[in-house]
Copies of this chain bind each other. A is one copy, B any other.
Amino acid sequence: MKLLPGLILGAVLASAAAPALAQPDSLAMMTGRLRDRAMSGSGAYDILESLTTEVGPRPAGSPAIARAKDWAIAKMTSLGFSNVHAEPFTIWAWFKGVETAEVTAPFPQPMVITGLGGSVATPPGGVEAEIVLFSTFDALVSAPANSLTGKIAVLTQRMGSNESATGYGTANRWRRRGASEAAKRGAVGFMLRSLATNTDRAPHSGAMNYEEGVAKIPAAALSSPDADQLERMARRGKPIRMKFTLLPTYLPEATTWNVVGEIPGRVTPDEVVLVSGHLDSWGLGTGAIDDGAGVAISLAAAHLAGERKPRRTIRMVMWGAEETDQAGEAYAKAHAADVSKIVIAGESDFGAQHVMYFQTPAGSQDLRMVQMLAEALKPLGVTYNREPSRFGGDDIGHLVPLGVPQLGMRQEGAHYFDIHHSAEDTLDKVDPAELDKATAAWTATIYALAESGVDFRKAAPAK
């Protein structure tokens, strides 16, 4: 919090005198005021504390997501949103059950694993087999046919660490595709090192997919220290046998909800600025950074911006099945006829740290409103990235084919994958000051977008 007083003072002066703006106007002034209002206590932390405490883990399709939906309706109603409602849709759902693993030879000892989302179960007594270690995904996909027959394939490749999550983007396909690549070569099980940037004993999970026509084998993530341990054992040169048991529950049909609330536009209520986070979480933690933080940031920001009654409608959406990528599709399907009202959509889903930079749709880079916003966000350390935003989040990404312009708000995330999709995703990992700082950027941005008349569809150059 040390930087805050100076930052706020500077920002207040800037918004009062607006020295950095060529043409000070009331939009710039109000945008700056709202930014500073959020910085001085946005309410986001209280929302996050409430969601993570009163609901806790909330996997899509579970009884907990129904409680989360009720929580969301109550919270938006209490904050004065209109048209608060839940939009149900049907999904497949997967919940972890018994999860055990051990090395049975030559160095018997327990291992810590967690199932990948969507994995089939092992037999009740588990699967036991010799393991084959692969230090890279490329090595696995280069392995000859039948080379893994009756074996458990274990991928120990480390996810790259960086601030912008490109390491995860690459590693994500190891988790998504690893089981089928192993199964094609005869494997009876697949494990991989957690896609994580630290060395906690907590395994990190996430959804996986089975390739059509390939045997479905059980798949799990090992904690990083356990993957290290297998590498050390393998260096001894003796065959290693493991046994693991996964007894998850798979529901081909379950219900979840996208929960929606609005601040009706003062002048053009049929023009909608959609902002969002996802309500569902992975089941291991309480979903504080993924994505309670995104819900809290976008909801607090929509509320603060909405208090100024901007011209356009602000629509807050809490997605009900981001983790299995079923929410955006359901929304796109249900709203195909009215998405044309959405002037721009944004999604906060990269943790609880400050915003590093923002992007706007193609063709809007030199608009006066965008430049004004860039100036207004500077006191928060947010830079403007002129690269057009073509994809703003996993859920709103499904609106791209329907022509919905995307807002890009990139948060700092150097430690995001220390915690992501593990039991460590709990409230204590969140810094309230950072959460306010992220919310301040969103508040200013939402207000500017909702008060301006910019048509991003028209701003976009023909391709």
Contacts and interface: CB of A to CB of B under 8 A. Distances in A.
Contacts of A228: 426-428
Interface residues of A, number: 36
A450 to B, nearest CB: 33
- What copy number does this chain have within its complex? 2
A284 to B, nearest CB: 9
Interface string A402-429: 0000000000000000000011101111
Nearest to A63: B108
Contact of A229 (B53, B201, B236): B53
A123 interface: no
A285 B201 contact: yes
A56 B63 CA distance: 39
A201 B112 contact: no
A233 interface: yes
A55 interface: yes
A202 B199 CA distance: 13
A225 interface: yes
A232 B53 contact: yes
B110 A55 contact: no
A155 to B, nearest CB: 18
Interface in A187-223: 199-202
Contacts of A15: none
Interface in A51-84: 52-57, 63-64, 67
A66 to B, nearest CB: 11
A322 to B, nearest CB: 19
A23 interface: no
Most chain-B CB neighbours within 10 Å: which of A67, A109, A201, A233? A201
A225 B54 contact: no
Contact of A428 (B52, B54, B225, B422): B225
Interface string A106-127: 0111101000000000000000
A64 B108 CA distance: 8
A286 B53 contact: no
A200 B285 CA distance: 11
Contacts of A225: 424, 426-428
A224 interface: yes
B428 A107 contact: no
A124 B228 CA distance: 35
A347 interface: no
A290 interface: no
Given A201-B202, A228-B426, 10 more contacts: A49-B232, A54-B107, A55-B109, A56-B109, A64-B108, A200-B200, A200-B202, A201-B285, A201-B423, A228-B428
Interface string A214-250: 0000000000110011001100100000000000000
B201 A424 contact: yes
Interface string A426-437: 111100000000
Contacts of A200: 200, 202, 424
A222 B112 CA distance: 18
A202 B53 CA distance: 19
B286 A112 contact: no
Nearest to A429: B199
B64 A229 contact: no
Interface in A16-56: 49, 52-56
19 contacts: A49-B232, A52-B229, A53-B107, A53-B232, A53-B236, A56-B107, A56-B229, A57-B109, A57-B110, A63-B108, A64-B109, A112-B423, A200-B200, A200-B202, A201-B202, A201-B422, A201-B424, A228-B426, A229-B427
A224 B428 contact: yes
A55 B110 CA distance: 11
Contact of A109 (B199, B232, B286): B286
